[in-house]
A = this chain, B = another copy of it.
């Protein structure tokens, strides 16, 4: 039975079961290799003395040995976590099993270490162009949620990663050659997005949809909440990309959706290739009003017993777009809801109570939905879905005319996994791993045929408590057609007592779980004190072929030779009226020119080339008081463009400690009156 809303709200913080777990410590290590649950892992000699003095159990020692990457072992981490940063607006790259943070990538939020959004035309346009209608100025933050690595034949190809801005309905593209953000697109008709950035099997499209529905006519906000079902709409967006992985709106399209709140989504794979699946909640279309005596949103949105899984046939949608059966809204071709419903592009299937995630099994044959107010995962069979569609086995249509498939006709199985299930990942053996928010645990269970049959199918196999309040989880390459198993990471929202106190805002907790044993076992806790990662993907490290240095004179925005690149000895300054244009060089340990005199009010354009070819020979270029800081990686060209509005002497300098004479690597911008 689904938990009642009241039970869930009362239980919203941390389940008692979860709290009882904390203490894996306790047994201290005996003299010479005491037997424990996880086998004989005693130590002798120096390491044992250390383990004793640090009160490590033999299980802890095994954990240490399983996760430690020795200093200097460049390939000790087998996988990369490509993690959202949540409302930090950034992304994080971490290693597995060490969980060390290899890089923060500046995405929606300016990041000065990378020079992202701090005065350089190779990065500023990314952020500036990311606001389609800057009525309130340029947007300088986002809420990154769902990273989606590009795929070829359903496997990660290590080329690009896409991520959404849940707050503002935007999407960004990061090139994994240099791990930098190349484009932010303000997606037409989306005001917010949660559900899924994901790619189709060969990255034909990058998909992003609305979260809270969009008010179709923003000039008619008065009373719109009272006409919610008519005034608002959702949009499923299929973004085409070009050869550089950038979005190409001319080949993209949207499908208009009912104003339910579309949530986390996934792409069909292999047998279900050509379709995508969107979860939803609040099919009640509750809009609150708790100061006016109406039900609060979380109450109104949880009334119904069912919400709707959306099944979208994008191959069919492509045909409709080609046939011109679209209307254009804010520059985007949109298949109207009635057309999508009538033409077999959009179907609905009932899902139990406020579902959160839908995840497609590696073979594409199962769609797994978890309803956060229901203790089961519900598994839809793709063969059953196809048969029901062919037989028009509908229990009716929703108010917008969209056919609703019969629940019993499409469900292959249900597994009772525990309280508050959210998201499911997979291993290579046909297991699902489902996060349980309320219970603070992860359930391992079995899929059906061909992985498991008869009594062994759709069965709870194991469960592990996590600390605390897990949202997403990830297995290695766990949402591709070829999961790699081995490790799982639990993305816990609360850490409570797991780390030393660092103030009222506590870190999140990434927990690494070992998948190689018979039982799930916890390896390590890692605090995330710099944002709230929402979802991560995990990719085998050897799939990414990152550049060590740029080819000389590269502009990272285009990834091509910059026409303003200079060679050493060719530096020059040109003055035209009130424009001062500089082609300068940057190397250990100087800028050339190291003196530049301009008049107050001049427009100063500085094209700066890092002429180094040595890996890691990065220089910064900062101008005090002008809010300018660029990162010039070896081979990189960047341009700063500013008005010399403040008179005085400004010591521009290198912000990367580059050489013994780094401190001397400076110049003087003299702004005369």
Could you show 12 A-B contacts with beta carbons less than 8 Å apart? A13-B588, A41-B48, A51-B65, A63-B68, A64-B67, A101-B101, A101-B527, A113-B530, A224-B649, A298-B664, A493-B657, A530-B530
Of all chain B residues, the one with the shortest Cβ separation from A590 is: B296
A414–B158 CA distance with the chains assembled, in angstroms: 54
Chain B, Cβ-Cβ closest to A659: B12
Question: Contacting A651 at CB < 8 Å: which of B41, B74, B192?
Answer: B192
Kindly state whether residue A212 has any CB partner on chain B within 8 Å. yes
Q: How far is the CA of A192 from the CA of B636 in the complex (A)?
A: 26
Binds B, one of A315-323, A341-349, A621-629: A621-629
Binds B, one of A83-91, A249-257, A384-392, A405-413: A83-91
Given A74-B499, A192-B651, A588-B13, check contact A87 B62 (CB 8 Å).
no
- Bitwise, A175-189 to B at CB < 8 A (1) or not (0) is 011111000000000
- Answer yes or no: A558 CB below 8 A from chain B CBs: no
**A592-B290 in contact (CB<8A):** yes
Counting CB contacts under 8 A, is A11 at the interface? yes
Can you add 13 more A-B contacts, CB < 8 Å, to A95-B500, A504-B615, A505-B618?
A: A12-B659, A25-B70, A25-B73, A43-B47, A72-B497, A77-B500, A220-B673, A289-B595, A290-B593, A296-B590, A496-B616, A505-B633, A506-B616
Once A288-B594, A291-B592 are accepted as A-B contacts, the answer to whether A40 and B33 lie under 8 Å apart by CB is no
- With A72-B24, A74-B498, A589-B12 given, is the CB distance from A503 to B178 under 8 Å? yes
B471 near A657 with CB under 8 A, answer yes
> Of B12, B281, B636, which contacts A663 at CB under 8 A?
B281
Measured CA separation A58–B65 after assembly (Å): 10
Residues of B within 8 A of A141 (CB): 110, 112, 118, 627, 629
A665 to B300, CA, bound (A): 12
Interface size class of A (residues with CB under 8 A): 35 or more
Task: Kindly state whether residue A241 has any CB partner on chain B within 8 Å.
Answer: no
Complex: how many Å from CA A515 to CA B282? 59
The 3 closest A-B pairs by CB, nearest first: A40-B45, A218-B648, A12-B659
Q: Which of B101, B289, B505, B633 contacts A594 (CB 8 A)?
A: B289
Name which residue of chain B comes closest to A498, CB basis. B72
The stretch that binds B, out of A129-137, A324-332, A451-459, is: A129-137
A579 at the interface (CB under 8 A from B): no
What residues of chain B lie closer than 8 Å to A66, measured between beta carbons? 50, 54
Is the pair A527, B100 in contact by a Cβ cutoff of 8 Å? yes
Residues of B within 8 A of A39 (CB): 45-46
Indicate whether A111 sits within 8 Å of B88 (C-beta atoms), given known contacts A500-B74, A633-B504, A655-B167.
Answer: yes
Which of chain A's residues 23-52 have a Cβ closer than 8 Å to chain B? 23-25, 33, 38-48, 50-51
Binds B, one of A396-404, A426-434, A477-485, A544-552: A544-552
Residues of B contacting A502 in the complex (Cβ-Cβ under 8 angstroms): 93, 102-103, 179, 546
Tell me, yes or no, whether A169 is within 8 Å of chain B by CB.
Answer: yes
Cα–Cα, bound, A467→B73 (Å): 12
Q: Does A420 contact B (CB under 8 A)?
A: yes
- Once A43-B47, A74-B500, A524-B71 are accepted as A-B contacts, the answer to whether A645 and B135 lie under 8 Å apart by CB is yes
Contact (Cβ within 8 A) A649 B232: yes
Instruction: Assess the B139–A534 pair: CB atoms within 8 A.
Output: no
